[in-house]
Structure 1
Amino acid sequence: MPVTFIIDYTIDPSKMAEFETYSARWIALVEREGGVHHGYYLPSEGASDKALALFTFDSLAAYEAYRENFGVDPDFIAADRLRTDTGCVLRWDRTLMRPLRHNSRRTSA
C-alpha cells in the first residue's frame, strides 16, 4: 500500500532562497530513490513561515529503504546540511498518511 508523507515546516521567511535550494535537493533525492515527490508548497498569502512537502513511496518498506541513506549517502548528508548550516528550517513535523480512494474498501483487522 502506498504511503504519503506530509512534512509541515516552520521556516525562516528571510531565508526563502535557502529553503528553496534545500527543497530542490530533497525533491531530487526522493525521486532518485523511487519515490514520487508531489512538491513543496511555499507561503503565498497569510502566514509567511509555513511550508509543506508531500511525497509518496509505494510501501512503508520502500520508504524505510530510502531512510537508510540518512547519515550515510553523501548526497543526503549534503542536502541535510543545507538545513542546519543555513537555518532556513526552524522546525518540522512529519505525518505518515495512507490514501483512501472512492473505490477503496476498508477491512477490519
Structure 2
Amino acid sequence: MITCYLRYVIDPYRLAEFEAYAKLWIPLVNRMGGIHHGYFLPGEGANNIAVALFSFPSLAAYEAYRASIPGDRRCQEALALADRTRCIVSYQRSFMRPVLDADCERPGD
C-alpha cells in the first residue's frame, strides 16, 4: 500500500471553496480504487495549510488513477472548481508507506 500525502497552501479567505473542492475529491478517489482518509483543514495555528491523505494498493494503481483523471468528467469539474476559485495557492505531494495496527506485535505474542 502507498499513501499520498498532499500538503496544500490555501487562500484562507477561500476556505469554503477549498472545502467544497475537498468534498468533491473524497468520493472520486474512492470510486477510482483508492481509500480516501480525508482532508484536514485549518483549525488552530496556521490558517493557510490543509492536508489530504489517501491510499492506493500500489504506486502502479495510483499512477493508473492519475492517468484516468483527464478522461473523467467529475474529476475535471473538481479541478475546474479549484481553478475558478483560486483557493489553492500551491501543493506538495509525497508518498508514504503506512505502518498499521495489523503490523504491530502484541505483548505476549
Q: Distance in 2 between matches of 1:29 and 1:20?
A: 15
Q: Distance in 1 between matches of 2:99 and 2:73?
A: 36
Counterparts of 1:36-75 in structure 2, within 5 Å, are 36-75=35-74
CA-based RMSD of the aligned residues comes to 1.4
Displacement of 1:100: 3.5
Paired residues of 1:10 and 1:91 also in contact (CA < 8 A): yes
Look up the equivalent residue of 2:89 and give its one-letter code: L
Which segments of 5 or more consecutive residues in structure 1 lack a partner in the other structure? 105-109
Q: TM-score, normalised by structure 2?
A: 0.88
Q: Distance in 2 between matches of 1:3 and 1:55?
A: 8
Superposed CA deviations along residues 7-61 of structure 1, whole A, max 9, x for unmatched, are: 0000011111110110011101100011110000000011000000000001112
95-104 or 15-24: bigger deviation:
95-104
Q: TM-score, normalised by structure 1?
A: 0.88
Which segments of 5 or more consecutive residues in structure 2 lack a partner in the other structure? 105-109
Identity rate, percent: 48
